[in-house]
Every structure is written in structure tokens, then in C-alpha cells.
């Protein structure tokens, strides 16, 4: 299990975890490998592109992956490793000295394939629509002094790769940086999610792998939703906690609700958020009984006299009940009920198991 804690709110005590990565904390024992121990430039580029540009439009995300691959491949061919984040930022910005040194090293080694990759990247640098500038600006969020010793920056922390979770049952907690680095925290969360989705599909595990995001604001992207849909067959799962559905791009609302198997609406949701849950949970047929009272009009004089006497005594006219039983289709939980009828400390929860069996949404008490 991997738990990503929001800033200042660690999930569980320290002794409950095998590995704790405190991003931005000099006392952290472990560091996070930004490339998830990958040796494939294309895979590493896809992971970084999802973290840096996954929240952009689809075309921008694809261009970002290509741009990163054109730099990571040549750099690894020369140095036998991927660049540190400051080195990668220099390459993305088109730093002439860095590109020239890399090109000369490739020419000296006779690696024409990687040299052509680098030349293609150099030609695109500074052109209109070049993804390199956007990637460099996003990467600058992680090139702050507080992160200087992290992400392979040479600090005292032992490198930790999320790939270990795919091979061993570990309990890992990643603490995001404290206040003042919200955008960097979201980028790191997207990086962890992208790494998790990449590593869990590699091996057939006997253990279940789970990622818990305490704050998934700005994390859900079109690519991550597609990957989440496949987690059930990969013996893995993701828990996404959102303050509001508005933290997810509107175009992804429907795909996200369809991709996840379990959904929980907490007390205090708005009617707008509740409407999405109501649509997802759908309707059900319920049996309703309606009782209508009809006044009895007597034809016989004696009967009318008795009815008049009875009305005089009771104060009510003589009536007969007409009972109607019918099947009607109603929402399991309406948006209004979710917003106003769920008590504090409760939530409405629906579950789906790995075999596809569904449990209808039920009101649960979270305090017990």
C-alpha cells in the first residue's frame, strides 16, 4: 500500500509504515526516484510527461512525452543514467552548452540514432507550440531549494522506487511538502499516480497493490482515468479523495464515475456533486401503496339516515378506502437527499467486488 498524505496531515502513525518519504524534509530517510527505477527512456518520458503536463489537453500531453523521450534517451546513452531534474530543465530550456556537450559525446560514441533524436529536439526548441518551455516551467516547481536534495539530487536520503511495491508487500507513506508548495504537491501526486499505474501492470503479483491519495485535487487526467479502468484485472486499486467533483475537469466526470467500482458521498456534499452520484447510482423500482378515501353516497332513505346520524355523532362523513399498489421508478439517492439528509459522521457508500457483483448505495456510520 502507498499512501500520499496531504501537507500537514500524515495518514497514520510512523510505526505503521515500512517506508516514509518526507518530500522537502531534510530529516527524511528516503528519497523518491522520479523515474521509478525505469531503464526505458520511453517509459520514463511517459511517466514524467503525465506528471508535468497530464492536466493539459491530450495533444499537449503527447507532445510532452515525445519531447522528454528525445532528451532522456540521448542522455542515458552517454551517461548511463537519466538526468537529474536540474539537468533535465537545462536541456528542456535549450541551454546551448548542455546540448552541445551531449551532441559531441554522442558523435564521439558513434550513436547516430540518439544524435538524430537530440537534433530533432534542438530544431524544435523555441518554435511556436514547443512543449519544452511548458515542461521547463512545470519542472521549475521542483527545482526549488527545499527540494534540492530530493528526486535524485544527491541528498542523504536513500532512493526509493515505487517499483518495489509491485514486487513486495510494503506499507509506504509519502508526505507532501508543507504550506507554500501546493502546486508542487499536486505535481508530485500526479507523479506518484503515474508511477503506480505504470509499475502495477508489469508483474503478476500474489498481493494486492493499493494507492491512497488523501487529496486528489488536480490529479485526475484523461490518461489516468483510462489506466484506472484496467486496475481490477491487474490486482490493484486506487482510492481518490476529492473535496468536490469540481476539482476534476468536467469532461472527465462521466468517465471517472464509470471507471471506479466503489463510490462514497460524505455528509455535506453539495447538490451539484450529489447530482453526479445520483446519476451514477441510477434508479430502482419500488412498490408504492396509495390509499384514497371516497365519500359514500347512499341510495336508500334508511341508509342515508344512518349515514347522517353517524356524521352527526363522529363529525365525519362516511367514506370507503380505495387502495392502489403500483411499481414506480425512483432514484436510489437523490441529489437533495445526499446534500441535506446525510447526518454528520455518515456517508452513502456503494461497493463493487472484483467479480463485478454490486452492492446498492447504503447509508453507513463512519464513527463505528
Give the pLDDT band of residue 37 (cuts 50, 70, 90): confident
Its pTM stands at 0.84
Residue 70: Cβ-neighbour burial (10 angstroms; 0-12, 13-18, 19+): buried
Contact present, 238 and 213 (Cβ < 8 Å): yes
pLDDT at 194: 92
pLDDT in tens, 126-137: 788 788 888 888
Q: How far apart are the first and last CA of the chain?
A: 24
Q: Is the pLDDT of residue 353 over 90?
A: no
pLDDT at 239: 92
Residue 219: Cβ-neighbour burial (10 angstroms; 0-12, 13-18, 19+): buried
Pairwise CA distance, residues 157 & 154, whole Å: 8
pLDDT at 196: 92
Asked if residue 60 belongs to a domain, the reply is: yes
pLDDT at 192: 93
pLDDT at 59: 52
Asked if residue 189 belongs to a domain, the reply is: no
Range of the domain at 96: 37-147
Asked if residue 56 belongs to a domain, the reply is: yes
Asked if residue 152 belongs to a domain, the reply is: no
Give the pLDDT band of residue 112 (cuts 50, 70, 90): confident
pLDDT in tens, 175-222: 888 777 888 888 999 999 999 999 888 767 788 889 999 888 888 888
Strands (E), the chain: 2-5, 19-22, 30-32, 158-160, 172-175, 209-213, 236-240, 263-266, 283-295, 319-331, 346-352, 358-365
Q: Is the pLDDT of residue 355 over 80?
A: no
pLDDT in tens, 44-62: 999 999 988 888 765 566 7
Asked if residue 142 belongs to a domain, the reply is: yes
Asked if residue 114 belongs to a domain, the reply is: yes
Q: CA angle 158-177-248, nearest 5°?
A: 115
Looking up cell 530517510 gives 29
pLDDT in tens, 306-334: 767 777 777 777 777 787 888 887 888 88
Pairwise CA distance, residues 200 & 176, whole Å: 22
Asked if residue 259 belongs to a domain, the reply is: no
Count of structural domains within the chain: 1
Asked if residue 129 belongs to a domain, the reply is: yes
pLDDT in tens, 252-293: 888 888 888 889 999 888 999 889 888 888 887 877 888 887
Residue 297: Cβ-neighbour burial (10 angstroms; 0-12, 13-18, 19+): exposed
Amino acid at each position: 500500500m502507498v499512501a500520499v498524505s496531504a501537507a500537514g496531515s500524515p495518514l497514520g502513525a510512523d510505526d505503521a509504515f515500512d517506508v516514509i518519504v518526507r518530500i522537502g524534509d531534510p530529516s527524511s530517510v528516503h528519497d523518491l526516484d522520479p523515474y521509478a527505477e525505469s531503464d526505458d527512456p520511453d517509459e520514463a518520458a511517459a511517466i514524467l510527461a503525465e506528471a508535468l503536463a497530464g492536466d493539459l489537453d491530450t495533444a499537449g500531453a503527447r507532445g510532452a512525452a515525445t519531447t522528454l523521450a528525445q532528451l532522456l534517451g540521448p542522455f542515458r546513452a552517454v551517461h548511463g543514467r537519466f538526468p537529474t531534474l536540474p539537468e533535465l530543465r537545462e536541456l528542456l530550456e535549450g541551454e546551448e552548452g548542455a546540448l552541445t556537450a551531449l551532441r559531441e559525446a554522442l558523435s564521439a560514441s558513434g550513436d547516430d540514432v540518439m544524435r538524430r533524436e537530440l537534433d530533432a529536439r534542438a530544431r524544435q526548441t523555441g518554435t511556436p507550440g514547443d512543449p519544452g518551455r511548458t515542461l521547463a516551467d512545470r519542472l521549475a516547481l521542483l527545482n526549488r531549494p527545499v527540494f534540492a536534495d530530493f528526486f535524485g539530487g544527491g541528498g542523504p536520503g536513500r532512493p526509493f522506487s515505487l517499483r518495489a511495491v509491485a514486487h513486495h508487500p510494503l506499507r509506504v507513506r509519502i508526505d507532501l511538502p508543507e504550506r507554500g508548495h501546493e502546486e508542487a504537491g499536486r505535481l508530485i501526486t500526479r507523479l506518484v499516480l503515474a508511477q503506480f499505474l505504470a509499475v502495477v501492470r508489469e508483474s503478476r503479483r500474489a498481493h494486492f497493490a493499493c494507492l491512497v491519495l488523501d487529496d486528489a485535487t488536480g490529479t485526475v487526467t484523461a490518461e489516468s482515468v483510462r489506466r484506472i479502468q484496467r486496475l481490477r484485472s491487474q490486482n490493484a486499486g486506487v482510492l481518490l479523495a476529492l473535496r468536490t467533483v469540481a476539482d476534476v475537469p468536467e469532461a472527465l466526470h462521466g468517465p471517472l464515475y464509470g471507471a471506479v467500482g466503489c463510490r462514497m458521498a460524505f455528509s455535506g456534499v453539495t447538490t451539484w456533486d450529489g447530482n453526479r452520484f445520483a446519476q451514477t447510482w441510477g434508479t430502482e423500482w419500488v412498490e408504492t401503496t396509495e390509499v384514497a378515501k371516497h365519500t359514500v353516497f347512499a341510495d336508500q332513505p334508511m341508509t342515508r339516515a344512518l349515514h347522517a346520524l353517524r356524521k352527526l355523532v363522529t363529525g365525519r362523513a362516511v367514506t370507503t378506502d380505495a387502495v392502489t399498489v403500483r411499481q414506480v421508478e425512483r432514484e436510489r439517492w437523490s441529489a437533495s437527499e445526499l446534500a441535506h439528509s446525510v447526518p454528520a459522521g455518515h456517508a452513502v457508500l456503494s461497493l463493487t467486488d472484483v467479480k463485478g457483483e454490486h452492492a446498492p448505495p447504503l447509508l453507513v456510520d463512519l464513527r463505528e
